[in-house]
Amino acid sequence: QVQLVESGGGSVQAGGSLRLSCAVSGYTSSINCMGWFRQAPGKERAGVAYILRAGGSTYYVDSVKGRFTVAQDVAKNTVYLQMNSVKPEDTAMYYCAAASKAYGTRCPSGPYEYNYWGQGTQVTVSS
């Protein structure tokens, strides 16, 4: 089993920054990919950024490229999402997730491909 605990959410004004953290524990050797997802009210959960555990390759959806950065501290078993230049449309519940599968150096993008989920942390961006 793998346990994920997110932290760092909150309220911020547009243009500001937030850093989300995801503490990973349990059977971490089974994880190949970590992903950050978000879900706004009335919308489906969607991927934001992904990182390959071995090697650290990253991938971002277009809407956050150049603004968000995903990183990991393997020694601390923690994954981060640095959010800069945030916009009101970034308002959502943010979740970190772990997947046992990877496609070469690419992480899966669909939420259904992730085995473990944190409880989520709310991010609210005001204009």
**Do the beta carbons of residue 120 and residue 94 sit within 8 Å?**
yes
Please state the rounded mean pLDDT for residues 21-49: 95
pLDDT of residue 77: 93
User: Has residue 120 got a pLDDT over 90?
Assistant: yes
pLDDT of residue 69: 98
pLDDT digits (tens, 9 = 90+) for 49-101: 999 999 889 999 999 999 999 999 989 999 999 999 999 999 999 999 999 99
The rounded mean pLDDT for the chain is 96
Other CB atoms within a 10 A radius of the CB of residue 6 amount to 22
pLDDT over 90 percentage in the chain: 91
* Side-chain half-sphere CA neighbours of 28 within 13 A: 17
Please state the rounded mean pLDDT for residues 31-58: 95
How many residues would you count in the chain? 127
**Do the beta carbons of residue 5 and residue 96 sit within 8 Å?**
no
Going 76 to 78 to 83 to 88, the CA torsion angle's sign is negative
69 or 1: which carries more pLDDT confidence? 69
